[in-house]
Amino acid sequence: MSGVISGAGKVLGTFTGATQQAEAAERAGNVQAVTAQEGISEQRRQFDKLIEIMAPYVTAGTGAIEQQQALLGLGGEQAQQSAIGAIERSPFFSAMAQQGENALLQQASATGGLRGGNIQGALAQFRPGLLNQMVQQQMSNLGGLIQFGQASAAGQASQGMQSAGAIGNLLTQQGAAIAGGIMGKGGLQRQLFGDALAIGGLTAKAMGAGGKPF
């Protein structure tokens, strides 16, 4: 019996155009759903690419924070000593110290004060002063890296929120498209039922008037 009804419904739907309309609605819904999914995939791809591009800056900023904390003693006394010692052992510090000390000795030699107490005191104070100066410079350099990292992380967060909003809108469109296709098929059943009633009514009127049904 259900097969007969289904067959009759298909014939009736084709005759009235309801079947074609429902199929068109379903196809349109599927196309919209696929398009929305492609948009979602592209949003995620672009965000992943942004994370990849900004990762070195974020990583550098994170490392700079750790080094700056070590220099400030926030990581403990041993970490602070290690950070300052790394600066003191660096080739740059050695070169600057050597140049500075040579300049002091040359000046003392020119003035005849090589054996005086002033030059000895100046030499004794030079390296600690240079080290302090380089520690402060390193703090400043690390601060610049931290700013880069912070800006990169903030950019990632902002882009993440925008991508989330865009994906949410596309998911809503995708759901609406799928629902529209389902409702289109449901509407076919209601329309077929209404068409059947209308045709049945016309047939009954024609037969009641002594005519023939179509």
pTM for the model: 0.55
The pLDDT of residue 85 is above 90:
yes
Predicted local confidence at residue 208, as pLDDT: 53
pLDDT category, 154, cuts 50, 70, 90?
confident
Mean pLDDT for the stretch of residues 145-152: 86
The pLDDT of residue 47 is above 60:
yes
- The residue ranges of every structural domain in the chain are 58-200
Lowest mean pLDDT among 103-112, 140-149, 203-212: 203-212
DSSP one-letter string for the chain: -HHHHHHHHHHHHHHHTHHHHHHHHHHHHHHHHHHHHHHHHHHHHHHHHHHHHHHHHHHHHHHHHHHHHHHHTTT-HHHHHHHHHHHHTSHHHHHHHHHHHHHHHHHHHHHT-TTSHHHHHHHHHHHHHHHHHHHHHHHHHHHHHHHHHHHHHHHHHHHHHHHHHHHHHHHHHHHHHHHHHHHHHHHHHHHHHHHHHHHHHHHHHHHHTT----
